[in-house]
Structure 1
C-alpha cells in the first residue's frame, strides 16, 4: 500500500491563493518535516489533506482519495491530525481521554470510575507515548509536552496510520523536545509521520526528509543536509542570500 500522494493541490480563499499547485509524496514510514516562513501554506496544506479546507487537485492515502470527503470519514481512513494547541478533555484522566478516543461503549458515569482492566490497545498507546505512570491524573494537570503526547496517543487508539502534526514541540522544554523526537521515531516504526515545524534544531536532529514551502508552493525537497545547502532555501527561509563565489 502506497503512502501519501498530493498532486497539483490548490487552495484559494476569496481570490487569495494559499496553496498553489503543490505536489508531494510521503512514503510509508517516513518522518517528513514541512517547513517554511509564516504564510507559506503549510497548515493550509494539512487542512486540505484532512478535509478542513476546500481544495482542488488530488490527494490519496494508500488506495483512498481524500479530497471531497468529510473530516470524520478521512479520519476513519487512518489519517490523524493534531493542532498547535492540544485538544484533550482536561477534566478527565489520561486513561479516560484514551477510552473516549478509542470509542469504547461505556456510559458517561462509568468514565468517572477507575476501571479494573485496561484494553490492550489503550495500554499499548499509553506505553508508546510514555504516559502509563500518569494514567489516573487529570489531563489538565499534565505538562505541556505530555498533553501533546496524550493527543498523539488518542490518535493511536483511533488506529491512525498517517500522523499530521502541526508544530508539536512549540512551547516545549528541551527535554520535552527530545522526548517528542524519540516518540516520532517510535511512531515511524508502524506509521507515517508528517510534521509542520519551525524549530530548526529539532528538524536537524529528527527529520528524515524535508519539504520547504514558500508563498504556497514547494520550494525545495530532500534530506536535511540537501535542504540546508540549497541557496534558494537559505535566501527565502533563513532571510539572506548566499554570496556567489
Structure 2
C-alpha cells in the first residue's frame, strides 16, 4: 500500500483562498498530525481529500487519483474520515452501528433482531477500538470517547486504509486521550493515519511526524522536536519571535 500524496492543492471560497498550494506526503504507516491556528485550512484540507469541497491540484492515495470523484467513490477507495462530533446512530446498538457501516444488513428490520454470529471483521473492529464489552449498548449511552472510537470502528469495517481524523480527542478525559493515542499506534500497523489536532500534549506523546499549516499553506514539517524548534512555528503560536527564555 502506498501513502497519501497531495500536490499544489488549492481550495477557494468566493475569492477567499482557504488552502493555498499545499504539498503533503504521508507515507503508509505514518501517524501524521496536522496542526495550526484556527483558520489555517486544516479541516478544509481533509474536506478536499474526501471530496466534500471542490479543489484543484492533485491528491492520490494508494495510486488512485481522488480529486473530482464523488464522496462515496472516494470512500470505496479506502479513504475514511471522522468529524469533530461523532456521526453515529445513537438509537442503535454499537453492533448495529457497525453492521450498517459494513453494509451486511439487507433489510432494516434485520438490525433489530439478535445476531446469531458476528462477522469476523465486525468482531475484529470491536476488539481494535476496545468496545467488545459494550457491543449491545445503545450508542447514545456511550461515553464521549467511546463514540469517537465507534466512529473509527465504522471506518474499519469498511476497510478504510487512510484514516482522516478531525480532532479525535476534543472533549475527552485524560484516560480517553491515552487510550486514543494507543489506538492510533495500532491502526498505523496496516493503515495510514492523518490527525487534525489542537491538543499539543497529545501531539507530543503520539505524533510520529507533524505538518504545521498557517494561512492555508504548509509552514513547517518534521518530527515533533524539529517543528517545535522552528522559529516560524514559534512566532505563529507565540505571536512574536521567541525570546531566549522561551526557547530554553
Q: Same fold (TM over 0.5)?
A: yes
- What SS does the corresponding residue of 1:237 show, helix, strand or coil? helix
* Cα deviation, residue 11, structure 1: 0.3
Report runs of 4+ in structure 1 exceeding 2 Å deviation. Answer: 237-240
- TM-score normalised by the chain length of structure 1: 0.98
Partner Cα separation in structure 1 for residue 132 and residue 239 of structure 2? 43
Partner Cα separation in structure 1 for residue 10 and residue 57 of structure 2? 6
**RMSD between aligned residues:** 1.1
Number of residue pairs the alignment of both structures matches: 245
**1:109-159: CA deviations, max 9, x gaps?**
121122111000000000000000000000000000000000000000001
* Counterparts of residues 1-245 of structure 1 (less than 5 Å): 1-243=1-243
* Cα deviation, residue 243, structure 1: 3.0
* Cα deviation, residue 24, structure 1: 0.2
* Cα deviation, residue 241, structure 1: 1.7
* Cα deviation, residue 106, structure 1: 3.4
- What SS does the corresponding residue of 1:115 show, helix, strand or coil? coil
Partner Cα separation in structure 2 for residue 30 and residue 208 of structure 1? 7
- TM-score normalised by the chain length of structure 2: 0.97
- What SS does the corresponding residue of 1:99 show, helix, strand or coil? helix
Partner Cα separation in structure 1 for residue 146 and residue 106 of structure 2? 25
**1:34-88: CA deviations, max 9, x gaps?**
0000000000000000000100001000210000000000000000000000000
Partner Cα separation in structure 2 for residue 237 and residue 98 of structure 1? 40
Residue ranges of structure 2 left out of the alignment (5+ in a row): none
